[in-house]
Structure 1
Amino acid sequence: MRVRPSLAMMLLLPLLGACGGKDDVTMPPLTPEPSDSRFVVPSNASSPQETLPARLALYRYLRGVAAGNVKSCAFLTPEHERRVFGAPGRCRSGLARARAKLGPRNVAALRGVTVPVCAKGAGGDCTVRFEDLRWKGEPASPGGLLAASFTLRKTRTYWQIAG
């Protein structure tokens, strides 16, 4: 069946007239639903701006491990380095071995990790649980260099992983 152009215009004309004009219906402001878990901030989490330097230190460490960059060892306190690598100063020589134990899947996951939240604790320390890390793809598995939680402590002017 062939439709004449003038007939099609006659049918569309009322629809086109509804666009614009003074009687526009405005959309109400968008507000999150209270039950939406994407907007729920854990009760012990601090404001994102307040914890940004600590979260950035952990982010750089994890991404440095993914890249095999020994400069990421600077983000470890001597106590944490002793616990993970056996003695202070052994991170630089032991990072490649520890990274190899993670396996290719975990190393690939670390390349897309972010640290969205950090809980402030006693003495100003920040704690990031492994479950709070966000992954671009499939998440890594905890173990080895990837602790169940990371405690970050401000030493002098920068943040380091203390536990």
Structure 2
Amino acid sequence: MRARRFVAALTLLPLLAGCGGGNEVTMPPLTPEPGDSRPAPDASASAAPQRRTLPARMALYKYLRGVAVGNVKACAYLAPAYERRVFGGPGRCHSGLGRVRAKLRPQDLAALRGVTVPACQVGPGGADCTVRFEDLRWKGAPARPGGLLAASFVLRRNGARWQVAG
């Protein structure tokens, strides 16, 4: 009986040896999912500025993707001045989003569903961030600029949030 327990313990030793407190990393690094198109920090030498601009780029990303699907929650990412210019006044995004979306071609709406915001230019003092329309990345054919798809988007920090200001 003791011999069987001893043999069983010996067969388990190789398995238990791998469970030690070694410094070996056995799990691969986490990577984004292939279908995930959210803006991710760049791994190149410019990674530090891109990490700092991620919240601003994410605000523009959520706004554009919200416009693509007609979600009025996208209006929360607009500064009053931008809302006045595009929708005719502060607070009019909620009621005017459908009207403004109707002016976009179906191809533009499809393109907005796949848009990403990979980079932005930080303004003086780091308070503003500018994304040119040419810098947006598209999954397929790009949207046509005009209307609410400005030639450039200025993102401005408003307290702890970033908003599309121009």
Judge same fold: TM > 0.5, yes or no. Answer: yes
2-structure distance, mates of 1:116, 1:77: 22
Q: Which runs of 5+ in 2 are unaligned?
A: 1-42
Identity, in percent, stands at 68
Aligned length: 123
Q: Please list the CA deviations of residues 96-151 of structure 1 after superposition, one character each: whole Å capped at 9, or x if unmatched.
A: 01011011010000000000001001242000000000000000010011000000
Match of 2:70 among 68, 71, 88: 68
Give the match's secondary structure for 1:106. helix
Q: Does 1:147 align with 2:150?
A: yes
Change (3 A) 1:142 1:86: same
- How much does 1:48 deviate? 1.2
Partner of 2:112: 110
Larger radius of gyration: 1
- The amino acid of 2:145's aligned partner reads P
1-structure distance, mates of 2:105, 2:91: 23
Q: What TM-score, normalized by structure 2, do the two folds share?
A: 0.70
Q: What TM-score, normalized by structure 1, do the two folds share?
A: 0.72
2-structure distance, mates of 1:76, 1:70: 11
Q: Does 1:53 align with 2:49?
A: no
Q: CA RMSD in A?
A: 1.9
Q: Which runs of 5+ in 1 are unaligned?
A: 1-38
Change (3 A) 1:40 1:132: farther
- How much does 1:78 deviate? 0.5
